[in-house]
Copies of this chain bind each other. A is one copy, B any other.
Amino acid sequence: MSRASDRAYGAIRAHLLSGAVKAGEQLTEDQLAQITGVSRTPVREAVRRLEDELLLVRSDTKRLFVADWSRDDIEEMFTLRQMLECHAAERAAERLSREQIAALEQINRELKAAVELPAPDVARFLDANRVFHEVIIEAADSPRLGQLLGRLVEAPVVLRTARTYSQEDLRQSARDHDELVAAFAARDPDWARAVMGSHLRRAFHTFARAVGPAGSGSTQEIDAKDA
Contacts and interface: CB of A to CB of B under 8 A. Distances in A.
Contacts of A41: 41
Contacts of A148: 80, 148, 151
Interface string A44-64: 010010001010000000000
Q: Which bracket fits the contact residues of A?
A: 20 to 34
A45 B152 CA distance: 22
Contacts of A142: 76, 80
A155 B147 CA distance: 14
Contact of A83 (B48, B87, B147, B151): B87
B144 A152 contact: yes
A54 B151 contact: no
Give the secondary structure class of A's interface: helix
A145 B76 contact: yes
A208 interface: no
A147 B80 CA distance: 11
Nearest to A44: B45
B76 A144 contact: yes
A148 B144 CA distance: 10
A73 B143 CA distance: 9
Contacts of A152: 144
A108 B224 CA distance: 31
A225 interface: yes
A126 interface: no
A38 interface: no
A38 B152 CA distance: 33
A204 to B, nearest CB: 14
Interface in A72-110: 73, 76-77, 80, 83-84, 87
Given A83-B83, A148-B151, 6 more contacts: A45-B48, A73-B144, A80-B144, A80-B145, A143-B225, A144-B152
Nearest first, the 4 A-B pairs at minimum CB distance are A148-B148, A76-B142, A76-B144, A80-B144
